Structure 1
């Protein structure tokens, strides 16, 4: 067996949560950042540790953060054996929250991306938020548009007339870890699907994270049926005059994970994911040409060449 470890944090999303007084869903964001990186190797995460660095300890804030993380870990069958809370007013102005995930994978079960071939099917897993990436840009654009307390500005929907911009940007991340394990098997379980590659779409977006998966095989992909990003995110990009290409380099744009499978396994893969309450769809095909071609939500076509 191999031991797999990943580290990450919620970035400046926690600044929005603290300002808006809504920290209860941030645990899903933290867990997603580390477990969904680890599962890309084929690993099952068994434990997560975390560290909160905060200017001043507030028991309610700590309670809300840990309650959210505990719920998220329980759903993923992960334990929290340890953690640390540090009051460091001289080091941070509000707070940072990071985690380390520990997983295991059998040596013969590591996902080896060299087996990706032209004609394989790429499947996108839906994400309704921005996960924990690109929040410095989000905060900048919204503060310039609505002022310093932009998170209180209403963005009503037909179902929720009192919904705010803070509510939108704090949409919790989908944690894909358990759903992926339904495909590749937990410890002692048989593999249901031959998954050839998994990309967790975080910082750098599809051009960066999917490129890592395709690099070893030397192939590319045409992604012409991706999920559309949430409306609130495209509104933000319009406010900040962010180009479509930069959007796909900054955010996941509605596609939190991409997985590569044999074409004949695509329908079964989507069915298994659906049973795990993860919405997925075929979004493209791998190609001999190493370029990643992305058909954007606005009809644009972008070619991201291998560097």
Structure 2
């Protein structure tokens, strides 16, 4: 069985690094104690919550990972914005939060206006569909520090306290409804690329697949963003359901 370590990703080391980072992040929480914006601690949460009195602000960070490398191989960037928004907005909705804004950071070895155009066109389209705004961002040309584009985002959401989803009330016998994804989103792409390149070669992405498209087009299928659909069930901020 192929595992992440063979694909260059050590999950155990990654978990250790995350725990180190979280311990230092948590060491700052006391500085807002009793003040607006005091963190609500939940180590297993998909995003961070800040107590704003009558409601929570929810913040989360993520990126498209090495899905960007596939886009670079076939020169197609216009759907990655859906993946970027999905990674952060769908983390926020796991808590019941409505994402209201997203900022993004692109680290690149060389700025290419055409690539920027396609990336941001896709992100803007996804945001308009989800009623999310892009109030800011950063493009950093960092030369040889990176071999490809690295695209990450921070989302900000709002959440009424009585709508918070914690999972604490789940009990044996509860029904689980699973939402099937038709693609890979931006998860596990180091492993996806490893498997394809091992089975074929590094040029596999432009070759035809059995599914009517090239392998690159097939695995670049944009993420389904579930946030707005779930908000229809839960109610947007200030709406009753």
TM-score range, shorter chain: 0.7 to 0.9
The equivalent residue for 2:216 is: 166
Q: Pairwise mapping of residues 31-180 of structure 1 onto structure 2 (< 5 A)? A: 31-157=85-211, 160=212, 163-180=213-230
Task: Give the superposition deviation at 1:97.
Answer: 0.3
Q: How large is the Cα RMSD of the aligned pairs?
A: 1.0
Cα contact 1:47–1:103 (8 A) shared by 2: yes
Name the TM-score, length of structure 2 as normaliser. Answer: 0.76
Note the alpha carbon deviations across 1:229-255, whole angstroms, 9 max, x for none: xxxxxxxxxxxxxxxxxxxxxxxxxxx
Task: Give the superposition deviation at 1:112.
Answer: 2.9
Name the TM-score, length of structure 1 as normaliser. Answer: 0.60
- Aligned positions, number: 187
The equivalent residue for 2:61 is: 7
Task: Give the superposition deviation at 1:145.
Answer: 2.2
More strand by share: 1
Distance 1:169 1:185 in 2: 33
Note the alpha carbon deviations across 1:211-232, whole angstroms, 9 max, x for none: xxxxxxxxxxxxxxxxxxxxxx
Structure 2: any 5+ residue segments left out of the alignment? Answer: 1-54
Cα contact 1:17–1:23 (8 A) shared by 2: yes
Note the alpha carbon deviations across 1:175-197, whole angstroms, 9 max, x for none: 00001101110011112xxxxxx
- The residue matched to 1:123 in structure 2 has which SS? coil
The equivalent residue for 1:186 is: 236
4+ residue runs over 4 A deviation: none
The equivalent residue for 2:10 is: none
Note the alpha carbon deviations across 1:82-114, whole angstroms, 9 max, x for none: 000011112110110000000010112211311
Structure 1: any 5+ residue segments left out of the alignment? Answer: 192-307
- The residue matched to 2:176 in structure 1 has which SS? strand
